[in-house]
Amino acid sequence: MTLRQLWRDYRPNTLKLTLPAGYTLVLAAVFVALYVLLIEVALRVPALQSRLPAPSVRSQHFDFEIKLQRLREMGSVDCVFLGTSIVDRGLSPADFEQAYQDAAGGPITCFNFGVDGAGEYTGVLLAEYVMRAYRPRLLVFGVSPRLGNGWDEGSLAWLPWLKYQQGEFSPRGWLAEHSRLYGYSRPLANDLTGTLSGERRAFLDRMILANGFYPTDERITFPMLPGDEGRLERSNYAISEAWLSRLDEMLAFQRPPRTRVVIVEMAIHPVALEGRADRLSDYAASMSAITARAEAKGVPFFETNRLDVLAADENWADFNHLNATGARALSRWLGEQIARHAW
């Protein structure tokens, strides 16, 4: 027996894909790809999108994702409000627009991109995004010394979607920007399973207006709740060098006449400083530091803590946040001031 005959008769059995089996796998892959493509196309139909929750970019901040979708639906915007929850609940685009138009004689379209609990650096991060995507002519940063005694980039700084917007490629960042199936899968899964996340997202979807404003009808009560009392006692109004560095980044967006920047103090309730000489001193020093930095860059800084229109308790949700009544009063005042400002 020759060696070739021996190999033919005793060679081990090995897995070998015949043409039909391989063809089946290829055909299955094609059908899956077509199925995904059809879903992607369907999820881009406006009539269907209007019935779905806002798509997710895999952030833990549902209000940010809802606002991102609202902004995309607007398509274009002249003015964007940026900051944390104090902006989110404290500035009403509709009231600002009306007061601005009454004073300036021309219309302006604004959007509230304040994000609850995301850190004050969020304003800078989102300003970079809106400048690339929408090129508004006015950026309004809402700030408070109460947030100025620490450094926290916030969770959005590490979000793959936002990194992708900054030019840093990643598969998750690319999918969050380009795949509707990826974007809608999480909120739809939350809705179908009835999770607390789904309920929270649905609540925010109802509350956040088309212009990004989150109005609240809550009203401060006295004596304050223990949680609010504790936060008040821990408040520190001395701003750090790290916070001033963030302020410098906000001011750097000032590029007239194409883009102008406004810094607005988001006021605190009088009770926060009442009878506390140390807090009053820190607050005054912080205001002076902000004023000096803004003036050096030719950026207007509007102080609001002594406004009569905000003095009453009926304007406040808690010692640090305006309610809808206070937000409307502040926004009307601010719209008029900016319209009349001599740039």
Cβ-proximal residues to 283 (8 Å cutoff; 6+ apart), any chain: 145, 237, 273, 305
Residue type, 89: R
Per-residue three-class SS string for 233-264: HHCCCCCCHHHHHHHHHHHCCCECCCEEEEEE
Q: How far apart are CA 180 and CA 40, in angstroms?
A: 6
Reading the chain (343 residues) residue by residue, the pLDDT tens digits are 565 665 566 555 555 555 565 678 888 888 888 878 888 888 888 888 778 888 999 998 999 999 999 999 999 999 999 999 999 999 999 999 999 999 999 999 999 999 998 777 889 999 999 999 999 999 999 999 886 655 566 778 889 999 999 999 999 999 999 999 999 998 888 877 877 788 899 999 999 999 999 999 999 998 888 888 888 888 889 998 888 999 999 999 999 999 999 999 999 999 988 888 888 999 999 999 999 999 999 999 999 998 999 999 999 999 999 999 999 999 999 999 999 986 6
